């Protein structure tokens, strides 16, 4: 994993731990009222908040997965730019550059 993927990985781990801590702190205060246990579907706050939290959670998971597994090595440079860089570094000669650039321009 590269540095960017590690950042997203640890960010997601910290997010999950934070949600677990918040659930552990706040859920019992909502569920237990006057000694009675109210399941999450019947309490006045947890149904809409639970749905909202679920949408946020799965949206975050999908975002992290897409960021982790997307092609991070996308080349924004086109072939001619790469060719110019190779010429400037001295990897190819001017004749080779002109020959290859004409071939690339002919393909388009």
Looking at the structure, do residues 25 and 54 belong to the same domain, yes or no? yes
The whole-chain average pLDDT of the chain stands at 76
Give mean pLDDT, residues 67-96: 78
The whole-angstrom separation of Cα 44 and Cα 23 is 16
Looking at the structure, do residues 62 and 88 belong to the same domain, yes or no? no
Looking at the structure, do residues 59 and 105 belong to the same domain, yes or no? no
Looking at the structure, do residues 28 and 58 belong to the same domain, yes or no? yes
Number of compact structural domains in the chain: 2
Give mean pLDDT, residues 19-32: 67
Give mean pLDDT, residues 82-98: 91
Looking at the structure, do residues 65 and 34 belong to the same domain, yes or no? yes
Residue pair 2/72 in contact by the 8 Å Cβ criterion:
yes
Looking at the structure, do residues 11 and 64 belong to the same domain, yes or no? yes
Full domain range(s) for residue 50: 3-69
More confident residue, 84 or 32: 84
The whole-angstrom separation of Cα 19 and Cα 35 is 25
Looking at the structure, do residues 58 and 79 belong to the same domain, yes or no? no
How much is the pLDDT for 88?
92
Give mean pLDDT, residues 7-29: 79
Give mean pLDDT, residues 10-21: 86
How much is the pLDDT for 95?
92
């Amino acid at each position: 994993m590269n540095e960017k993927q590690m950042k997203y990985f640890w960010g997601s781990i910290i997010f999950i731990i934070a949600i677990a801590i918040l659930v552990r702190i706040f859920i019992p205060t909502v569920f237990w009222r006057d000694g009675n246990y109210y399941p999450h579907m019947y309490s006045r706050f947890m149904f809409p908040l639970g749905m909202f939290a679920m949408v946020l959670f799965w949206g975050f998971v999908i975002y992290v997965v897409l960021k982790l597994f997307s092609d991070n090595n996308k080349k924004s440079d086109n072939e001619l730019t790469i060719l110019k860089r190779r010429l400037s570094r001295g990897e190819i000669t001017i004749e080779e550059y002109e020959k290859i650039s004409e071939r690339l321009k002919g393909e388009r």
